């Protein structure tokens, strides 16, 4: 049975300096763990064929499909503020690109498919745990309506990888609008290769911002477009309590998608300074720092684009600063609009931002669960808010705030039912709780048992829906279930 991928590759047609041609390293006994059948159909692939042993061999990198042009992409990056001039895909190989059913070009990439010229002494492999984590969280983000890379398949390789101990090896098939990053531009900027920067910028405009092709100043417009998408993306992260964990410039996507799910996590109790990543010792990428870091990353991108703006350095810098100046306003507008929706306000009035901030401050002081507080607030529209009160160590703190909130809602004509429905449409009840994700990983790694993984993925596919049979998945962790650190897994 033939596995057909209708590849139409554009990135591998760029100059050789953009990548290294390298094939995946075959594995011994690939076995399919999970295929994302709806995504396969969206990509124009046959899920029945992908679920065959032949399909598993392709998804594990054992067989390269016809039409693929496997490459490891070159990029640089600031990692925790320190610049590394050459990083690149050290354990990922881009098989090629397909045009999906909506006419959009999508990368199909294998993560954990073996060493590349960019591996820097690494084995190029992935352990099962990080593969399952990325599958779970990226698909949960998609269901939450947040721009993200997606997971087409997870395959166990039949081989072990050595980290602190021997672990089952696995490969994730990742789908993205592209894998071009801020760090991709930095790779050429540090080499003063202006022609390559222009070539890359033209490629990004054609692929991600085609409406800018005939702009009067296309490179200025490109930076403005990337700034706007990043500002809106980070606002969406904050609105669901998501912490990326490693917002390095090589993990910052030009397309505005969430990319590279390493030590990522969703908050339980609301804490603006929350950090989970084991490698973020200084809290650089804490929850509340994410907007500031996004702007810092975009500033690094702007520096790369300066030669395309003007031959006059001062003029180019001034123009870039003007474009970067829009980030804060765009982020704030998106974030505040999202918060108003979360508390059920249909209009914008003076005092709304302060009212909502007072709620967040009370949540932080009372260790209120971020997800459940907002979800249960919808119920409080029509009753005394007992479930929302229960999230607070001092329920009186909620009562004081709720009195002012209810007074504010009386200024709008919507019924309690209409308000609650609108709130439930933006406030999820189910998120990838860290303790649930870890339990799934342990069952898979220790017992080769994927039942919990399948169930969690099923529940998270409908994050806004009441699912009585799976109500326990909404519960925060008990004290002995709390996950205090998440790990990169490389």
- The region that residue 472 occupies, defined by phi over 0 for left and psi between -120 and 50 for alpha, beta otherwise, is alpha
CA torsion, points 122, 124, 128, 129, in degrees to nearest 10?
Answer: 50
C-alpha 253/C-alpha 263 separation (Å) is 17
Q: What is the DSSP letter of 73?
A: E
DSSP states of 84-104 as a string?
ES----SSEEEEEEEE-TTS-
Angle between helices 182-189 and 290-309 (to 10 degrees): 40
Of 73, 56, 54, 57, which Cα lies nearest the Cα of 15? 73
Catalytic residue among 250, 260, 268, 369: 250
Three-state DSSP class for 33? strand
The answer to whether 266 and 241 have CB atoms below 8 angstroms apart is yes
Spell 162-172 as b/e; 16+ CB within 10 A means b. eeeeebbbbbb
Q: Is 369 a catalytic residue?
A: no
Long-range CB contacts (within 8 A, 24+) of 439-442:
440/132, 440/136, 441/128, 441/129, 441/132, 441/133
Q: How far apart are CA 296 and CA 29, in angstroms?
A: 44
DSSP string, 164-231: SSEEEEEEEEEEES---BHHHHHHHHTTT-HHHHHHHHHHHHHHH-GGGTT-SSHHHHHHHHHHHHHH
Q: Which run of H or of E encompasses 154?
A: strand 150-162
Residue 95: count other Cβ atoms within 10 Å of its Cβ: 27
Backbone angles phi, psi at 160, to 5 degrees: -105, 150
Beta bridge partners of 94: 71, 109
As annotated, the active-site residues are: 250
């Amino acid at each position: 049975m033939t596995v057909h991928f209708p590849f139409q590759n554009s990135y591998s047609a760029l100059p050789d300096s953009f990548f290294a041609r390298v094939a995946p390293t075959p594995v011994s006994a690939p076995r399919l763990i999970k295929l994302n059948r709806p995504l396969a159909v969206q990509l124009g692939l046959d899920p029945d064929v992908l679920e065959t042993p032949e399909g598993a061999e392709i998804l594990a990198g054992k067989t390269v499909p016809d039409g693929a042009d496997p490459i490891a992409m070159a990029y640089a990056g600031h990692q925790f503020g320190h610049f590394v001039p050459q990083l690149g895909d050290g354990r990922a190989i881009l098989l090629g690109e397909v045009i999906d059913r909506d006419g959009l070009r999508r990368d199909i990439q294998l993560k954990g498919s073996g060493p590349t010229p960019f591996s820097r002494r690494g084995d190029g492999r992935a352990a099962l745990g990080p593969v399952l984590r990325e599958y779970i969280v990226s698909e949960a983000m998609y269901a939450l309506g947040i721009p993200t890379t997606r997971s087409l398949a997870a395959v166990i390789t039949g081989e072990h990888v050595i980290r602190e101990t021997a672990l089952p090896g696995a490969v994730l098939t990742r789908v993205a609008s592209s894998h071009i990053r801020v760090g991709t531009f930095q790779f050429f900027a540090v080499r003063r290769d202006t022609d390559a920067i222009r070539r890359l910028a033209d490629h990004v405009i054609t692929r991600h911002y085609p409406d800018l092709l005939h702009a009067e100043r296309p490179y200025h417009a490109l930076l403005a477009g990337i700034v706007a998408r990043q500002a809106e993306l980070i606002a969406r992260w904050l609105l669901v309590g998501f912490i990326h964990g490693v917002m390095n410039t090589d993990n910052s996507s030009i397309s505005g998608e969430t990319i590279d799910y390493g030590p990522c996590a969703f908050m339980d109790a609301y804490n603006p300074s929350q950090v989970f990543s084991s490698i973020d010792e200084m809290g650089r990428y804490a929850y509340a720092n994410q907007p500031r870091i996004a702007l810092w990353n975009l500033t690094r991108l702007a520096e790369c684009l300066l030669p395309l703006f003007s031959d006059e350095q001062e003029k180019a810098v001034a123009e870039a600063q003007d474009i970067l100046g829009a980030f804060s306003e765009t982020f704030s507008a998106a974030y505040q609009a999202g918060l108003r929706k979360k508390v059920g306000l249909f209009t914008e009035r003076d005092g709304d931002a302060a009212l909502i901030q007072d709620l967040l401050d009370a949540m932080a002081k009372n260790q209120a669960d971020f997800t459940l507080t907002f979800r249960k607030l919808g119920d409080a529209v029509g009753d005394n808010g007992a479930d929302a009160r229960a999230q607070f160590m001092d329920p009186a703190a909620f009562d004081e705030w709720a009195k002012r909130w209810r007074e504010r809602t009386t200024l709008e004509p919507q019924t309690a039912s209409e308000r609650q429905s609108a709130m439930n449409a933006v406030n999820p009840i189910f998120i990838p709780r860290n303790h649930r994700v870890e339990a799934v990983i342990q069952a898979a790694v220790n017992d080769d048992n994927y039942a919990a993984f399948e169930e969690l993925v099923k529940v998270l596919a409908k994050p806004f829906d009441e699912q009585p049979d799976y109500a326990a998945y909404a519960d925060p962790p008990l004290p002995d279930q709390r996950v205090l650190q998440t790990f990169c897994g490389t």
